[in-house]
Structure 1
Amino acid sequence: MFADDLLIFCKGNLESVVGVNTVLDKFYEMSGLKLNAAKCEFYASGISTNILEFITKATGFKQGCLPVRYLGVPLVTRKLSEKDCVVLIDNIKSRLYHWSGKLLSYAGRLELIRAVLFSVANYWCRQLFLPQSIIKKIEQLCSRFFWKGSDKAATGARVSWETICKPKHEGGLGLKDLKTWNKACMIQLIRSILAGEGSLWVAWINNYVLNDKDFSLIDSGTNTSWSFRKLLKLRREANAVYSTGATSIRAIWEVTRVKRDKVLWHNLIWFPLHIPKHSMIAWMAILDRLPTKVRLQHMGIVTDGLCVLCNESQETRDHMFIECPLASSV
């Protein structure tokens, strides 16, 4: 049960369904809260057509068909498909649409991606193994919004998305790589199974899937769901992570992510009380990704590469900030 969303499981016979209805009627007498049969659905498997008709007449519920969404995510036993994730992509696109008309700086777009778009994807990452194609689509949408401010092709992006997703001390902007984060979330689910407590899902896994068997030794059977088979394949990597003492998803992500060399200029631009817009420009300058005339000339956007200030030398990053006589005097 979550707020006004309630799932009730019972045996697939008329007696059990009538029993559930009787309990709900008793609840109505005590609380005054009555369910709306028109908004309720029941799902069945391996039950004859006659019994299904009896259940429909006895309850007034409609018979639903899987997959169905519950609390925003699809309930599926097979591999998650792109079709199942259309809601997630549409949710992100709708948020982008509302912000497309706003004149936001790179720093503002970065904070929106970090605070809102990634939180939407993060909710799914904590429940399911996301397909690689969906992860790429989310990253593409975020990249387009960051560079263009809308869902337009991010041609001419100054810095790759892979670099943006590095921590700041490694030369990036501190966003998380969704694929690695999704894996960290799944390793945390394995940790919950091994702990044997914490949620109804864990209790159900232990009683009906593991059946008192050791999770670290069990093999996947023919009736094992795709998601659970994926969890079983993660066991060896999960054990290596647990040996480091990582307990939270963030700590697990820190252990599993690919680490790069630290940059020497991290504290130069990401210092306390820095101005985000200025730090963003400095970051692009250090990576030599500012749209100087020489870079624009290489892209075929302009034909003249001379410095706009002195009109003597080629307008490169080093010339603009160091070598140009006017820049030196300033």
Structure 2
Amino acid sequence: MDYLTRSLQFAAQNSAFRFHPMCKNLKLISLCFADDLLVFCKGSLSSVQVIKGVLREFSSVTGLHLNENKSQIFFGGISEAEKRILAAEMNLSEGIFPLKYLGVPMRPTKWKHEDCDVIIQKIKRNLHTWASRHLSYAGRMQLIHSVCLPKALGGLRFRNGQKWNHAILAKFIWAISEKVDLLWVKWINSIYLKGADFWSYKVPPDTSWYWRKLCSLRGKYNRDEIMAAGVSGKFCPARIYSNSLHYQQVDYYKAVWCKLSLPKHRFLLWQVVNTHLLTLDNLCRFKVLAQVCDWLDGNIWPAEFDSWRVWLASRKSEFIDQVAVMILVASVYSTWRNRNNCIFELSSKSAVSIASEI
């Protein structure tokens, strides 16, 4: 395809060829997506004949031919008589807008909000299926309200969808401000900005909705914040996302997420210290923790869970401290599991038996 692209660019120097009016400033003649090719030119017979000659030469060199059954020609701003002449010249049928590419409708006019409905509906269906299959109502509520924070801030390192989306979109603003050598950046500067500074640019009332949405991010981030997220020529969305979170760091998160503990044990301890565990008020009534403390010859952690945050925050990175946390979380998990067995399976183990397993 590189050979074909170079051939088209060379042919564009022919005096008989005219660029598409929207592609003239960028001297854009073709776009390649995987094995698909889009070719643009002015709706004149001489321009179409130049393109036809390039495709004929490409076929003779490579043996690849234009599939007339899978290819179409699209027009805009010319008469019906001219359409028939150009379609006959290329021996292609006329395509009708909106054109669907990868399931998304494309049109020569401004992209409409409903054009994205097909994508939004697919995302919604996938999210609904995943949530209903793997999470209860209470689980979904907890996921929404309490986990969309980094672990250091007391969350589960899930990202807030809206804020993360804004952080990713900020990458486009950074690319425009840095004038990155990309086709779409050149297109924005040529068609929309026309030499104006992005940060002082006034959005016209009749502009496309997606460009208006992108420009609206200037109200969420300033120039310094976005430029600071660019490191060594690359944009880091995580940096600008982290700066948008205004929460106090919790001191106990390193102990809660100690790698010595099993993942399911860590998650339960996170629920305990954040008072999300429904059986939390019953933990102190069980004798398992006392049995484990006897086995360890002393009270390593506080008996009341209200003091566990302070105790976990005081743990250091030494191995002995990590072992103490690991035993605590294993004790909590075993007690919680036995309590559930009492309710749902009508079976229970003794405190001595559970402590022995721990």
Which residue identity lines up with residue 272 of structure 1 in the other structure?
K
Q: Structure 1 pair 156/181, CA: closer, same or farther in 2 (3 Å)?
A: closer
If the length of structure 2 is used for normalisation, what is the TM-score? 0.61
Q: Structure 1 pair 2/157, CA: closer, same or farther in 2 (3 Å)?
A: closer
Which residue identity lines up with residue 84 of structure 1 in the other structure?
C
> Any unmatched runs of 5+ in structure 1?
97-137, 149-153, 293-315
Q: After the TM superposition, which residues 145-160 of structure 1 pair with which residues of structure 2 at under 5 Å, given as runs?
A: 145-148=133-136, 154=137, 157=140, 159-160=142-143
Q: Structure 1 pair 73/169, CA: closer, same or farther in 2 (3 Å)?
A: farther
Q: Structure 1 pair 274/80, CA: closer, same or farther in 2 (3 Å)?
A: farther
Does the aligned pair in 2 maintain the 1:143–1:161 contact within 8 Å?
no
Q: Structure 1 pair 177/156, CA: closer, same or farther in 2 (3 Å)?
A: closer
Q: Which whole-Å deviations, capped at 9, do the CAs of 1:113-141 have from their partners, x for residues lacking one?
A: xxxxxxxxxxxxxxxxxxxxxxxxx5x66
Across the aligned residues of Structure 1 and Structure 2, the Cα RMSD in angstroms comes to 3.0
Larger Rg: 2
Deviation at 1:200, TM superposition (A): 0.7
1:31 aligns with 2:62: yes
Q: Which whole-Å deviations, capped at 9, do the CAs of 1:92-130 have from their partners, x for residues lacking one?
A: 74xx6xxxxxxxxxxxxxxxxxxxxxxxxxxxxxxxxxx
Instruction: Find 1:184's aligned residue among 141, 147, 167.
Output: 167
- Counterpart for residue 241 of structure 1: 225
- Counterpart for residue 323 of structure 1: 285
SS in 2 for 1:213: coil
Does the aligned pair in 1 maintain the 2:170–2:226 contact within 8 Å?
no
Q: After the TM superposition, which residues 40-59 of structure 1 pair with which residues of structure 2 at under 5 Å, given as runs?
A: 40-59=71-90
Q: Structure 1 pair 265/229, CA: closer, same or farther in 2 (3 Å)?
A: same
Q: Which whole-Å deviations, capped at 9, do the CAs of 1:247-268 have from their partners, x for residues lacking one?
A: 422222222x332222233112
Separation in 1 of the partners of 2:237 and 2:71? 35
Does the aligned pair in 1 maintain the 2:174–2:227 contact within 8 Å?
no
- Counterpart for residue 238 of structure 2: 250
Q: Which whole-Å deviations, capped at 9, do the CAs of 1:279-326 have from their partners, x for residues lacking one?
A: 222222333334x5xxxxxxxxxxxxxxxxxxxxxxx41422x33234
1:220 aligns with 2:203: yes
Q: Structure 1 pair 224/34, CA: closer, same or farther in 2 (3 Å)?
A: same
Q: Which whole-Å deviations, capped at 9, do the CAs of 1:144-191 have from their partners, x for residues lacking one?
A: 45414xxxxx35646141322211112221122221122112221111
- Counterpart for residue 80 of structure 1: 113
Separation in 1 of the partners of 2:204 and 2:198? 13
Deviation at 1:199, TM superposition (A): 1.0
> Any unmatched runs of 5+ in structure 2?
1-31, 292-354
- Counterpart for residue 166 of structure 1: 149
Separation in 2 of the partners of 1:41 and 1:197? 33
If the length of structure 1 is used for normalisation, what is the TM-score? 0.65
Which residue identity lines up with residue 17 of structure 1 in the other structure?
V
Deviation at 1:202, TM superposition (A): 0.9
- Counterpart for residue 200 of structure 1: 183
Which residue identity lines up with residue 156 of structure 2 in the other structure?
L
Q: In the comparison of the two structures, how many residue pairs are matched?
A: 253
SS in 1 for 2:223: helix
Which residue identity lines up with residue 288 of structure 1 in the other structure?
T
